[in-house]
Amino acid sequence: MSKNPWIDVSVPISNSMHGWPGNPPTFITMHLGTAKADVCNVSAINFNSHTGTHMDAPLHFLHGAKTMDDLPWDAVVGPARVVEIKDKEAIKVAELKKLKPKKGERLIFKTRNSAVSWKKPEFDKDFVYISAEASEYLVECGVQTVGVDYLSVGGFHKDGIETHHILLGAEVWIIEGLDLSKIKSGNYDLICLPIKFHNGDGAPSRCLLRKR
């Protein structure tokens, strides 16, 4: 095993990063800078709770529901399975059935998004998402956590609200915005640590995978 087997699957937060259309964009400026003879470097950072690699709390779509404070560590630290999705439109029930999602599983979907969507100059509206029916199937299977490799579990054109409602309503914890371009399907250890926003509806997160 190499000395540093952990692979960072989070995207960098920067002014040029992709953001969800309509959400406040990321805006980072130099507040203090040694380049302008200040004594230190301090950045001013404006961003929203669903920036880059991040988690969704049930509160994101469900009024009065659980917040990021309620995240059980078990959902984001432990074994995870990365599965490759062939469908270039959506993650659908037929393909999921072959993958046999298990109760309590942390399941991470690698789609064409990792190779295509993140590489586009601007937000990709045609990213691969989890269909509403597939979300229901994941809930039936009792999956604990799902991870996806672009900015939403639901689609931009379709199933955006429905997929969130189904997964968050069942308290499936959601990791969005992963970059899985360096990851193959298989079994991994997962560490995903969201920023501690009090009562957060979501939070940017650092996510690491290590082959098991």
Burial of 46 from C-beta contacts in 10 A (0-12 / 13-18 / 19+)? exposed
Q: Which is nearer to Zn ion, 105 or 176 (CB)?
A: 176
Nearer to Zn ion, 50 or 112 (CB): 50
Give the shortest CB-27-to-Zn ion separation in angstroms.
Answer: 19
Which residue lies nearer to Zn ion by CB, 162 or 176?
176
Which tokens sit at 24?
A: 């406040």
Q: Is 164 in the site for Zn ion (CB under 5 A)?
A: no
Bin 157: left if φ > 0, else alpha if -120 < ψ < 50, else beta. Answer: alpha
By CB under 5 A, what part of segment 191-210 binds Zn ion?
202
DSSP single-letter state for residue 166: H
Q: How far is residue 126's CA from residue 135's CA, in Å, rounded to a whole number? A: 18
Query: CA distances (Å), 26 to each of 15, 49, 110, 177, 189, in order?
Result: 6, 10, 25, 15, 30
Active site residue 60: yes
The single residue among 9, 47, 52, 56 that binds Zn ion, judged by CB under 5 A, is 56
Stretch that binds Zn ion, among 42-50, 71-79, 116-124, 132-140 (CB under 5 A): 42-50
Interface with Zn ion (CB under 5 A): 50, 56, 176, 202
Q: Which residues are catalytic?
A: 60
